[in-house]
Structure 1
Amino acid sequence: MTSQRLCAVIGLLALWLAQLAVARTAVTPVKELRQRPRASPADDDEPDLESLYPAHNLSVPIDHFHNSTLYAPHSNGTFPLRYWYSAAHYAPGGPVIVLCSGETSGVNRLPFLYKGIVYQLAKATGGLGVILEHRYYGTSFPVDDLTTESLRFLTTEQALADTDYFARNVVFEDVDADLSPESAPWIMYGGSYAGAFVAFLRVLYPGTFWGAISSSGVTEAIYDYWQYFEPIRIHGPRACVDTTQAFVRVIDGILLRCPSDADLTARLKETFLLPNVTYDDDFANVLSGGITGWQGRNWDPEVNDPSFGYYCDNITTGELLYPDTEGLRDSVAELIGASGGAAGAAHEDDSSLTDRMLNWIGYVNATAVAPCAADSGSTQNQCFTNRNATYYAQTDLAQTWRAWAYQYCTQWGYLQTGSGAPAHIDPLVSRTIDLEYTSLICRDAFDIWTSSDVQAINRYGGFDISYPRLAIVDGEADPWKEATPHATVARDRASTVEEPFLLIEGAVHHWDENGLLPNETTADLPPQPVADTQATERDFVRAWVAEWYMRKDRRA
């Protein structure tokens, strides 16, 4: 590698550090929970979307299920559910296209109203575009704090009922038309958790919602979701995957095969410049920060998180990118030997792995160790631990991290472990990242000591969920694919206009959701698989809308 390219790599890493996504390790350390961003940065070339689309609120019941003991003590109160809409493409007789925002502030979904999937579907059908926030996210809070007791109303069941109530009671003030579900077809869209959410809406409230598109919809709740890493292992760049597996064999060869050798473990941490990280699982979690960048990949360069590419470029080159690590060569070679050797089929010998591991150490230093050191007053434990009962005990509304954590601790699961991988599969993260470690937040934040009640979610259909005018759209390389109806263990299906079943070639997480304005498209963007999928979505939604009016005419 030339010195010019080396400088470029290091420069790009510095740029990435400034934009580092929060959930970049298998488990989010407490320090990063504190720094969780509240909104997506706006594109400098786009208008201020919060000014373009003013927020509105509808008063909805806090508790829809007074007969369920799950929500006792019950509430007769209401809370403001926030939403946004655009009538820019609305024409009389058009549908209502609603994007459910899921586990984030609805503000973060406004780009999809401006030029993403909502824009595309509304334009294609003469529809009204809507973004609807989920209870307990953004400003849609039904409570004054986030204690475990106050969080009892945060269930998917209650949020689904919110959405039905919204559809049956909202009035879009400047639209001179009756847009109730009896007078206009409502088409729902969601991605990831929200993708499962809209699939459930279609099944539970078919009289309200005429159709739904579940994109990367995780309809099967899974407690130990070790399968998160499987699409990365299968579809990731071969050299990067093989090297990462070799790295993990070294780390686990020491931490798990030699657990009583405290001196060897201490030498391992010192070599990675992390001598003051007390717990082995916290240490291993820091090292997972490269491979977990896969989910952030996107076809649009303005949306794409480049961290996975930087990681792979660093660990697969045969040249030393970080000269300062040369002094660690002997130590790295000794650690590889002590671990039992890890070269395997992917490397000719352990010396080849040594070169790559030196670059890995440099990468970890640049992306984790150095930023921690620059944060004056923070120890390595404070930067990287997943243990801080005092922090987890905070329950004011500013602790926005509590909402989704409560949902996955109580019902959804999805604890992403290395330990769950079968023995014949070399994991991409350490097996020290196990259920005990990934559920620490459940115990310390909510006093939940049992596994998630995934059956509360899977009763809606799980892998087999199916309904007329319910589209299942997934990414071939999505780490969440194994929790969708496209999972390896799920049944195969034919794709029809009535029940589309689409797998986007090479795509990661709900790649059909974001889009480009007509003057932004190029010969390569969106890529053909995404463009084809979005065109198919427009076609079948038009067909669904036409069917709604045909049936309405028959009833008349």
Structure 2
Amino acid sequence: MKASSREGVLCLLLVLVYCGVGCHGLFRQGRTKKYGLVPPPAGVPEGVTVPDEWFTTQRLDHFNNTDTRTWKQRYFSNSTFYKPGGPVFLMIGGEGPANPKWMHEGAWIHYAKSLNAYLLSLEHRYYGKSHPTKDASTENLLHLSSEQALADLATFTAAMKEELGLGDETKWVAFGGSYPGSLAAWYRLKYPHLVHAAVATSAPVLAQVNFKEYLEVVDDALATVSDECNSLVYEANRQLHILLQHRVGWQRITDTYRLCTPLNGTNRLDVANLFSLLAGNIEDVVQYNKDNREFEGIKGTNITINTVCGIMANETLGSPYVRYAVLNSMFLDAQEEKCLNHTYNATIQELRATSWENNAGVGGRVWMYQTCTEFGYYQSSDSTNQPFGNEFPLEFFTRQCRDIFGPRFTPELIANAVKRTNRVYGGRHPSVTRVVFPNGSIDPWHSLGVLHDISPNATALFINGTAHCANMYPASPRDPPQLVKARQQIFHLLRKWLHE
């Protein structure tokens, strides 16, 4: 869910961000999105197939009864664990393709086996294969919103109850991580008659234009290794800034940081994008630190906060500026990238592409639209309590909305959209019951989440030392005791609520 910059592979960005879906500029070629999107667990077990299924009568606009247009939405199902009287578990899709691997892996599978649940997963409109319109042009993104997505869930729930012959006594539980975590809580808020309970993992329920706290949590995370780590990252960025003052320095940066094209230090947007991308290397590591993804085949998952700080503390490599470049090369090599495309114009051109066909980056455009029209979430360098300098302020991100979608998408439009989102859903205090909000202390997105119980039946779980959506993954022998306990607490709450 990260609304900053890195292209292509839908991990999990971004992020979300919410893996997903993000990145500074939004995507970067071959890099994991930092916006919060939850990467899938391990592959589907051998011999097991999970075919695409299609809900063919989804409405395009749920809030205009005169608009009768429909489209087909992808979903997955697994009835293996279901016994009559059991609940339905609904995994909510987010800012990337829905993945059938979740139908046989993840912590919720343990809950499903114990509670005899029927499993469903609904892909979010405009992502993956669920295309309501012929392309992702700005005018065709009009029907992309969290409110329309929630109405999709409601229509799907009602239809599946009838198709599966499930009576009103069957209880539904919504699951989601990152942006889908917010959707899970909001589904319970807006449609409590359809969904009995929800697990809203790493859910940034507070919309915020300037998410400067993101880098503050990154600072705190690096400090868990050593205070020196932040100081060295700060010094590397200071030295980079000094080199920007001279043409000789531009060439040195181009060579040392393996830029695809020569750096022009007078182009402030290119400079902002470069500093943002380099900070993003460390942001990715922090957001997904030690989160049991090594079995997924995602590249670079063995790189942890300790790895980063170890390189930054290694004096034999050279100055902090050089060590920071070594980090960048490590990420480029891990992703099999020859060079770093730092230019702002390349990012914008990529996010202007509207075709669904042969366009892996269109998901970044779609998520960027949601940040411009609902959430903000821009991870700026405006805070002084972080080590990455001040080269990518809020204006760098809000400008992208205008440059990608047109002159109507002003900072004022974004600010008003974010205010509306918080009015609609309640920000950090949604009026919900039977919702659990797990968050990890290492995950920067926890700054926008529910960290304290809203009520006895709306519970916050703050898991010290864990990263983004860690509780959703299958158990590992390396899991810290507090993560093991959190999964147990979630199970006990589900069992309790299903008897209410």
Settle same-fold status: TM greater than 0.5: yes
Measured in 2, the distance between the counterparts of 1:75 and 1:36 equals 35
Gaps of 5+ in 2: 1-8, 16-21, 265-269
Q: How does 1:91-490 map to 2 (within 5 A)?
A: 91-107=83-99, 110-170=100-160, 178-180=165-167, 182-238=168-224, 242-249=228-235, 251-252=237-238, 255=241, 261-263=245-247, 265-266=249-250, 269=253, 272-273=256-257, 274=259, 276-278=262-264, 279-292=270-283, 293-300=285-292, 301-302=294-295, 305-309=301-305, 310-320=307-317, 354=319, 356-368=320-332, 374=338, 383-388=341-346, 389-397=348-356, 398=359, 399-418=362-381, 420-421=382-383, 423=384, 425=385, 427-447=386-406, 448-451=409-412, 452=414, 453-459=417-423, 460-486=425-451
Amino acid at match of 2:410: W
d(CA) in 2 for partners of 1:364 and 1:213? 36
Q: Displacement, 1:430?
A: 3.0
Q: Alpha carbons of 1:139 and 1:499: their partners in 2 closer, same or farther (altered >3 Å)?
A: same
Give the distance between the partners of 1:153 and 1:171, measured in 2 at CA.
25
Q: 1:505 aligns with which of 421, 443, 464?
A: 464
User: Which residue in the other structure is 2:53 paired with?
Assistant: 55
Q: Secondary structure at the match of 2:89?
A: strand
**Separation in structure 2 between the aligned mates of residue 281 and residue 122 of structure 1, nearest angstrom:** 46
1:515 aligned partner: 474
Q: Which amino acid aligns with 1:302?
A: F
Aligned twin of 2:18: none
CA RMSD, Structure 1 to Structure 2 (Å): 3.4
Conserved in 2, the CA contact under 8 Å of 1:53 and 1:86? Answer: no
- Report the 3-state secondary structure (helix = DSSP H, G, I; strand = E; otherwise coil) of the residue aligned with 2:499: helix
Deviation at 1:428, TM superposition (A): 3.2
Aligned residues with identical type, % of pairs = 23
Q: Give the Cα separation in 1 of the matches to 2:212 and 2:106.
A: 31
- Asked if the contact 2:11–2:32 (Cα under 8 Å) also holds between the matched residues in 1, the reply is no
1:90 and 2:86 are equivalent in the alignment? no
Task: Tell me the distance in 2 between the aligned counterparts of 1:296 and 1:504.
Answer: 14
Match of 2:310, SS state, is: helix
Q: Distance in 1 between matches of 2:191 and 2:32?
A: 38
Match of 2:4 in 1: none
**How has the CA–CA distance of structure 1 residues 19 and 307 changed in structure 2, closer, same or farther, with 3 Å as cutoff?**
farther
Q: Which amino acid aligns with 1:66?
A: N
Indicate if the aligned counterparts of 1:135 and 1:142 stay in contact, CA closer than 8 A: yes
> What amino acid is the match of 1:61?
R
Q: Contact (CA 8 Å) 2:38, 2:177: kept in 1 or not?
A: no
What code does the residue aligned with 1:217 have?
A
Deviation at 1:534, TM superposition (A): 1.4
Q: 1:44 to 1:146 in 2, by over 3 A?
A: closer
**Superposed CA offset, 1:139-159 (max 9, x none):** 111101000000000000111
- Structure 1: unaligned runs, 5 residues or longer: 1-17, 68-73, 321-328, 330-353, 487-491, 548-556
Q: Specify the code of the residue in structure 1 equivalent to 2:466.
A: A
Instruction: Please report how far the alpha carbon of residue 465 of structure 1 lies from its aligned counterpart in structure 2 after TM superposition.
Output: 1.7
Post-superposition Cα deviations, 1:400-434, rounded to whole Å, max 9, x if no partner, equal 3221111111111111111x20x4x2x23231111
Q: Distance in 1 between matches of 2:101 and 2:458?
A: 27
Measure, in 2, the Cα distance between the counterparts of 1:20 and 1:195: 17
1:8 maps to what in 2? none
The Cα of 1:254 is off from its aligned counterpart by 6.3
1:221-276: CA deviation from partner (whole Å, max 9, x where unpaired): 11111111222222335456633444334534763x897x4447536625734581
Describe the SS at the equivalent of 1:533: helix
Letter in 2 for 1:112: W
Q: 1:360 to 1:23 in 2, by over 3 A?
A: same
Local SS of the residue matching 1:103: coil
Partner of 1:528: 481
Q: For 2:104 and 2:290, locate their aligned partners in 1 and report how far apart those are by CA, in whole Å.
A: 18
Distance 1:541 1:370 in 2: 39
Give the Cα–Cα distance (whole angstroms) in 1 for the partners of residues 486 and 151 of structure 2. Answer: 30
Query: SS at 2:154's partner residue?
Result: helix
The answer (yes or no) to whether the contact 2:92–2:122 under 8 Å persists in 1 is yes
Cα distance change of structure 1 residues 48 and 219 upon mapping to structure 2, 3 Å threshold: farther
**Structure 1 length as normaliser, TM-score?**
0.74
Q: Distance in 1 between matches of 2:441 and 2:232?
A: 25
1:50-86 superposed Cα distances (whole Å, 9 cap, x missing partner): x23553424211101128xxxxxx7321111211111
Question: Going by fraction, where is helix more abundant, 1 or 2?
Answer: 1
- Aligned mates of 2:236, 2:86 — CA distance in 1: 59
Using the TM superposition, name which of 389-398 and 148-157 deviates more.
Answer: 389-398
Give the distance between the partners of 1:372 and 1:189, measured in 2 at CA: 34
After superposition, the C-alpha distances for 1:23-72 in whole angstroms (9 at most, x for unaligned) are 599515765289989996884683366x23553424211101128xxxxx
How far apart, CA to CA, are the structure 1 residues paired with 2:334 and 2:484?
A: 41
Amino acid across the alignment from 1:507: T
Q: Offset of 1:105 from its aligned partner?
A: 0.9
CA positional deviation for 1:512: 1.2
